A and B are shown apart, each in its own frame.
Chain A
Amino acid sequence: MSSETLDKEGVTRRDFLGLAAFGAAIFSALSVIAGTLRIFKPNVHYEESKKFKIGKPENFPEGTVRKIDERNLFIFSDSDGIYAITAVCQHLGCIVYTTEWGFQCPCHGSKYDKEGNVIGGPAPRGLPWFEITQNVDGTLVVNAGKEVPKGTKYIFA
């Protein structure tokens, strides 16, 4: 060591070279791992989008009860606003229908009230409500991937 020249901090040149070399190697290895882990979080999935457009707010005047068949979803509109409730029974996934008291599942008799809370049958939980947002061009977008608390109603211009 005594033959090595010392720089200001007292680190030998060879030490610095060693530190830098191993540092670079470790950094490379870590970035490879990070890059590999990135693969598990793709930008988009090869599947139907959870978000979909349902049209302009004026298509849903007060009192609307509309079932969107291809998305298994009910859209309601009352004096407090527009809201979306799933039509998929939380028991085994049958499609519920609306009744005077709320929703009825045809398969095993689960009953839900108008807000989607369980009032009878085997269903383990109430029907989830979904978020509704509005695009810049005014169309409404339901995000079936994002649940909102029961009773969340939206008012759009």
Chain B
Amino acid sequence: MLSRFYLSLLLLSGLVFIAFITLATYRELTPEWKKYQAEYREMLIKNAKDEAAREKARRIKIEQQQIYLAGLKRVDRCMNCHIGVDNPLMADAKVPFKQHSGDYLKNHPPDKFGCTICHNGQGRATNKKEAHGKGRDTHWDFPILPFKYIQNSCAQCHDYETLRHKGGEMVVKGERLFREKGCKGCHKVNGIGGDLGKALDGIGSQPIAYFPMRHVVGEQTTYNWLKQHYLDPRAIVPDSEMRVFLTEEESDLLTTYILTFRTTEVPREYRRIRYVPERRVDGESLYKMYCIACHSTGKVSVYDEILKRTIPAIMNPAFLKNADDGTLRKIIKEGRKGTQMTAWKSTAAGLTDGEINKLIRYITRERPDEAAEPFGFAEFKTDPKHGKELYDVRCALCHGEKGKGGKGALGINLTNPVVQKELDPEFLARTVRDGRSGTPMPPFGEEGLGLSDQDIADIVSYVRTLAQKK
């Protein structure tokens, strides 16, 4: 005979178990989507034009809707709730019954394309929260895309030439921004571009966890990260060196475009890309693509708070007069070690010699006709001590006592490796003699502030010793 205690325990646990089973059964039998489908049927019965249509509506079964897409490796169950998506009678109905806007479904029938290929979200889920994939607790990396970013999906199958005329303006504008704001000056795409930033290949397919979401305001999604990062890079990644100056609208457009960098590719039978020959890129486009982010107009050198250095004015006639094509080619191809200037040769950042030549032609289009008068630095016997005396009086005000230039000072940092090792002393001497018009650097030569060539040679020789005096 079992004791009363054990019988009570058995009864209690049995009742608790039955309660759970009842709850589970209830939840299984009344999912969210059944309510929507029942409401849809009611709407159709109520609005039926004639008895035949009413009868047809009555015969609609409430059942799990699924689109199985073998080619896309997707299973979409969105139509469990968005049941009227391809029903013209639902054109004015409320969401989720509403018919799909526009005539997109005419060329993209849902039984061939499904929904998530364009809209993202979790196709297999059968409740709203998980299907839309929003929020960290859904553990879904590709939440449903807001309308303003949706066009990035078009670019999976269509080329930009087509999108330009057929409803893909936003992603086309984004692509243009990407080319003209100099993103590739720091970011590689397909192996071409600078190396200061991260390569952007596949960034649109990256899991959310790969982005530092800590400072993102609002939903922690890839697109929010991207957008907020364009508006203020350092608010999202505190030590970012990214130079980006976009309006709110431009940020949205660029986000749309960046999301097209995916690692997944839609099967060939879905794609409608016309393989147009690549556009011929001129020097100006190349300059915008690779240089403009740092050098901007190239006319004035300014101290940059983000990069913590002075960015040279590479299109300044005074500079061009002094720097011949060979020098420029060497600088562009090899970069400037110790600075942010990337080596652009084909084995590094990936520009071809032809492209570099086009760039040089573009940069030097305002070069004055007469070349700089040679200085002949090698012929002087230099005296760094005398140079120091002159430096302290003439140069230290702008370039700093120790040549470090920097914050607040007008002159560039003279201790950087470029000035110290890579630049020809001849070039430095000419610069001191002729100055840099368009920058605060005045000409110190006999025609300017009256230093003799010997004095200038002494100063240059002293400047070249600055790095050792640390």
Contact = CB atoms under 8 A, between A and B. Distances in A.
Contact of B18 (A21, A24, A49, A157): A24
Contacts of B109: 53
Contacts of B307: none
Interface string A18-57: 1011111101100110010000000110111100110000
B378 interface: no
B10 interface: yes
B67 A49 contact: yes
B449 interface: no
Nearest to A139: B86
B235 interface: no
Contacts of B87: 135-137
A137 B75 CA distance: 24
B111 A52 contact: yes
B17 A20 contact: no
Q: For chain A, which range describes its interface: under 10, 10 to 19, 20 to 34, or 35 or more residues? A: 20 to 34
Nearest to B56: A136
A136 B53 contact: yes
A125 interface: no
A136 B57 contact: yes
Interface of B: 2, 4, 7-8, 10-11, 13-15, 17-18, 21, 24, 44, 52-53, 56-57, 60, 63-64, 66-68, 70, 75, 77, 86-89, 109, 111
A131 to B, nearest CB: 13
Contacts of B64: 43-44
B57 A21 contact: no
A56 B64 CA distance: 24
B11 A24 contact: yes
Given A28-B17, A28-B18, A17 B7 contact: yes
A85 B296 CA distance: 68
A21 B11 contact: yes
B68 A22 contact: no
Contacts of A66: none
Nearest to B17: A28
A25 B111 contact: no
B117 to A, nearest CB: 17
A136 B4 CA distance: 62
A31 B21 contact: yes
B10 A136 contact: no
